Structure 1
Amino acid sequence: MADELELLRGANPVPVDGPHFGDGPLDHHAERHLDLLLHERAPATAAVPRRRTRLAWGLAATAVVAALVSALLFTGQTTAPALAAPRPLVVQTDSSPVPLKELAGRAERAAADNAPALRKGTHVQAWSLAMSDRKPPITLPIERIVRWNADDTHTEIVVATDPRHPGRPVLTDEDGEPRPVEDGHVLSKQTYPRSWSDAPPQSPPPTDVAGLRAYLQEAAYSKTALTTGELLDAVASLLGTWTLGARESATLAQLLADTAGLEPLGQVTDRLGRRGQAYVLDLPGTREMLIMDPATGAVLGLETTFTKAEPEYGVKAGDVMSYSAWMR
């Protein structure tokens, strides 16, 4: 179910990662193929089968896509923007699910030497679905790095990048309309003044389960106990501020093991190529998949997938709403 640009990318006679044409002239087959693309088949560009409508913005936008691809071909740029939405992660069928209680025990043993240590700041790659009632959604991939300084100021850098398609242009809507930018394009770089708040998630997370549960509830601005879905949202907020150490990861793993609703599925490989254990929570219309390191219990990623179509937004069951992959 490739999108229009993926289909056109497959027809490109000179792919950027091709083994024969990277630096040399085209052979006869490629010259003929390129001629067909630019002449005989050019009028059909806008009529590419619409197998996935999430990236087509009506007839006018389809023409824009066709013009964009034509411009890439005529100007010699041989890659098209990496627009395809990420597929949901697939659990390996021959893998054995690891209960959260067992994973929490592994995390506890791995934290015996208290290394690595807790660090304020975060490094995450994320994909999110930008939805509007005026046009089908588009997937926006970014990388976000937050580093704290000795004076308690912090710098946040956000770049447009997609590790699934290294080096290819990336789609962004930073100016309100979808457009391609170069891989690694800096979307924003800001330094923020010192925060005087010591409320969660600015304060360090506790290393006992009861304390961490109360901490996450406060971070979620809730006066009542969090549901499992709300708890996962609070975990994402925590990981947006802190890179957890071994002790904190073990405490979080134990808290999750004591929480109802998370079912072990088995082993997955996340979007950064890391092996993890998947735990899912089914909610009305969506499925949350938590990916955790099988040895240390560290949270590697969190994926939200639609289980129900939302036709008014151009969303189908199985579309990935958002995905975050945290790194040290």
Structure 2
Amino acid sequence: MADELDLLRAADPVPADAPHFGDGPLDHAAERHLARLLHSAPHLRRRTRPRLVWSLAAAFVAVATVLTVLLGGPAGTPAVAAPRPLAVRVHSTPVPLAEVAKLSAVAAQDGSPALLQGTHVQSWSLGMSDSEPPVTLPEERVVRWAPDGSHTEVVVATDPAHPGRPVLTDDGDRSRLVEDGHVLSRRTFPPMWGDAPPFATPPHDPAELRTYLTELIYSHSHTLTTSELLEATRELLDDWTLGARESAALAELLADAEGLRPAGQVTDRLGRTGQAYVHDEASGARQMLILDPATGAVLGLETTFTRDDPEYGVRAGDVMDYSAWMR
């Protein structure tokens, strides 16, 4: 129970020291915190009644079979299979993070590309409910900011690994099929400003960036743990597209992180080549960070289970979530 309480506090969309919104709607960042708590923390999933638990592999086979019948044959089969964990290329040479930090500092000397407010991210997340086996939900999210401080967010159901095929998406307590490219939401937010993360501009000085990331995830520690640094990195990239100088500063912070070990070369889920760095979490998950070794830019972050959890129908090696960031 203590572990679950710690996870809940870490995922709290509106911590005690944050501005209060009364009975009004959560802001953009708080909504994302709440969504991550509900959809990306399987050990916190509430259960209102006992249910039959299947293994993830068996669940996907069953769902695929049912949907094939409903759609009239293999041609209409949706992309329901869980993505396999990224595999490190055999005999590839791991590049130390310290070397990436040096290369990214050189690449950042001309300041190009520049920092952009907003993000473009493709994600795969494990959706779980009381009444259905777990399924993988692929989405693409684009956030763009205007000069007046307003911004738009468009979320689309799509899976680059299966172009043109129907896609599963979350619909409350159940999943449903939609066409590839179906717009799940399109929202416009009024002008927003602030002098604190995530609205404040991320600095490109490593020490200042560490402070920024600490405030971003509401950490009460003066020193970010490796788990917190990776969490903060995800939060940062869900709000900002880093420029060369910010990527170099982040690479320097990552190079100092304990337990983040180089694994070798991988090809990410968008076909890009990068270097993988792995960290094992005490919670029973493994984080794999994928970087462009020449620039230090973060390409992706994958979370996988490291042990079976029959209660939730997951096995060691199953992908909990994966994000791939683009410019």
Fold shared per TM-score above 0.5: yes
Runs of 4+ off more than 3 Å: 64-68, 132-135
Q: For the Cα contact (< 8 Å) 1:122–1:239, is it kept in 2? A: yes
* Structure-to-structure mapping, 1:284-299, within 5 angstroms: 284=282, 285-299=284-298
Deviation by residue 1:191-240 (Cα, 9 ceiling, x = unmatched): 01112322112111111111111100000111212211111011100001
Bigger Cα Rg? 1
Cα-Cα RMSD: 1.7
Contact between 1:135 and 1:314, CA under 8 Å: does it hold in 2?
no
Give the aligned residue type for 2:57: R
1:172 matched to 2:169? The reply is yes
> Residue 132 of structure 1: SS of its match in structure 2?
coil
CA shift in 2, pair 1:134/1:312, >3 Å: farther
Show the counterpart of 2:205.
Answer: 208
Distance in 1 between residues matched to 2:114 and 2:318, nearest whole Å: 36
Instruction: Please say if 1:105 is aligned against 2:102.
Output: yes
1:260 equivalent in structure 2: 258
Distance 1:293 1:150 in 2: 30
Q: Which residue of 2 aligns with 1:233?
A: 231
Query: Quick one: distance in 1 between partners of 2:141 and 2:305?
Result: 24
Work out whether 1:247 is the aligned partner of 2:252. no
Shift of 1:143: 0.2
Q: Distance in 1 between matches of 2:65 and 2:217?
A: 44
Once residues 51 and 215 of structure 1 are traced to their aligned partners in structure 2, the CA distance between those partners, rounded to angstroms, is 38
Q: Aligned residue for 2:269?
A: 271
**Which one-letter code corresponds to 1:103 in the other structure?**
V
Could you list the per-position Cα deviations for residues 21-74 of structure 1 after superposition, in whole angstroms to 9, with x for gaps in the alignment? xxxxxxxxxxxxxxxxxxxxxxxxxxxxx9922337xxxxx5x76553223227
2:41 alignment partner in structure 1: none
In structure 2, the partner of 1:304 is 303
Partner of 1:54: 59
Residue 81 (str. 1) matches residue 83 (str. 2): no
Instruction: Calculate the TM-score normalised by the size of structure 2.
Output: 0.79
Q: Distance in 2 between matches of 1:245 and 1:322?
A: 25
Is 1:115 aligned to residue 112 of structure 2? yes
Q: How far apart are 1:136 and its partner, in Å? A: 2.3
Count the aligned residue pairs: 271
SS of residue paired to 1:173: strand
Partner Cα separation in structure 2 for residue 129 and residue 287 of structure 1: 15
The CA distance in 2 between the partners of 1:133 and 1:237, in whole Å, is 28
Q: 1:71 to 1:247 in 2, by over 3 A?
A: same
**Partners in 2 of 1:231 and 1:195 — Cα distance?**
26
Structure 1 residue 78 displacement after superposition:
2.0
Shift of 1:118: 0.3
What secondary structure is seen at the aligned counterpart in 1 of 2:128?
strand
State the Cα distance separating 1:253 from its structure 2 match: 0.3
Q: Is the 8 A contact 1:267 1:277 kept in 2?
A: yes
Structure 1 Cα separation of the partners of residues 179 and 272 of structure 2:
26
Unaligned runs of 5+ in 1: 1-49, 57-61
Q: Is the 8 A contact 1:135 1:313 kept in 2?
A: no
CA shift digits 1:152-202 (9 cap, x unpaired): 100000000000100000001134311111000000000011123221121
Choose from 279, 282, 307 the match for 2:280: 282
- Residue 320 of structure 1: how far off its partner (Å): 0.3
Give the CA deviation at 1:112: 1.1
Indicate the larger mover: 222-231 or 260-269. 222-231
- In 2: Cα distance, 1:252 partner to 1:221 partner: 18
